[in-house]
Structure formats: C-alpha cells, structure tokens
Amino acid sequence: MNVNIDKSWKDLLESEFEKPYFEKLVKFVKQEYNSFTCYPKGSQIFAAFEYCNFEDVKVVIIGQDPYHGPGQAHGLCFSVNEGMAHPPSLVNIFKEIESDLGIPYPASGNLERWANQGVLLLNATLTVRAREAGSHQNKGWETFTDEVIKKISDKKEGVVFMLWGGYARKKGNSIDRSKHLVLETGHPSPLSANRGLWFGNKHFSKADTYLRKQGKTPVKW
C-alpha cells in the first residue's frame, strides 16, 4: 500500500502498511473523510513524520487524538494552526515552559518550530471526526503508533520520551528505559493540572540537560 510519508519513516514502517489491520484502517479513514468532516485535513494526517524525519528524532511527545474543533488540528499533537486560540492543555504547556526555563509565553501555538528541531509530536490516533473526541480510537491507529514508538526505542539511543497522563504512559510500555530517558507526569489538561499533577514537572529543562549529556543540541522551546 502506498502511504505518503517521509522516506526515512517509509523505509522503517513499510511492513506495517502491508498488514491487514492497516489496510482495514485506511478503508475506515477514507470512508470517514468521505462521509463526515474529519481532522486534520487528509494531507496533514502524517504531518508529524514530515516535519521530523527518523534520523533527527531526539524527543517524542505523545498525545491522544487530534483536536476536533474547526481549524485547530494540523497533524502535530498539542499544536494548533497559526492564529488559532490556544487550547487549555497547550496554555498549561507554555506556562510550565515559562516557569521552568524563563521563556516568555509565545504568541503562536503552532509547534512546527519544535518538530523542525527533532521533536516528534505524535498522537496515538492520527485522525478524528469533527466535534467527536475519540471517534477514531480502536480502529488501528494505536497499533501503528505503538510500532512507531517501538521502532524509535529499538533503533535509536538517547531519546527523551515525554509521557503525560495515564494514556500516554501506557503507550510507553515498549520503551527501553536503559538507553532512553522517559519523563512521566500528569496530563497538562486543566483537570489534571488543577489537581497539582502538571505544574512543576520541569520536563523541558530535564530534557535539555539529558540531550546535552548525550552530545545533542537542546531544544529551543
């Protein structure tokens, strides 16, 4: 099956595209996009892999599924298109960066600037029906993204994995913690953050310290 994805990833994941679950998933996604409004737009479904090729991955942030409101999702977890209001989770992410690193709260919620530095912004589910959170879960995307995480863990060294909330932590079961840094905390959503499970985690400074020790360039958050 021909999937439009960066060559560095295509070479790595080619065998997944031929599996029955993936063919079934593609059929489902096409049907959904033909019948309903879905996000992100078709050309951006694999955007996380386009902005960050396999060789450059040094940080992985795992989200759940894309934003389901108009004009928000563009294929990178937690990120919104230029000019869009910042969703609550993204607001809390930026507040933690400001507190942790002293970086002023940014005007833009578009995280392409992170992806271009080797941050893979990976949702567990890459598509969603408009205004229906979780509507494309358990259709095969999770199997695919589990394999992506496993490939990164197996074939690379010294990657920082940021697992925020119980759902993301479960996605991290295949990560080899003897050769990667796994940072875990609560989800940045207001529900979790207001219970004291997000702020003060210092994941961003911890990631940069680790990357420096690995001889890698820290991320300009």
User: Could you give the CA distance from residue 153 to residue 179 in angstroms, rounded to a whole number?
Assistant: 8
The CA-CA-CA angle for residues 194, 195, 197, to 5°, reads 100
- In the annotation, is 6 catalytic? no
Contact 97, 221 (CB under 8 A): yes
From 11, 56, 65, 100, active-site residue: 65
User: Could you give the CA distance from residue 1 to residue 22 in angstroms, rounded to a whole number?
Assistant: 9
Contact 194, 90 (CB under 8 A): no
Bond before 218 cis per omega within 30 degrees: no
User: Could you give the CA distance from residue 128 to residue 74 in angstroms, rounded to a whole number?
Assistant: 12
Would you please indicate which residues are annotated as catalytic (active-site) residues? Answer: 65
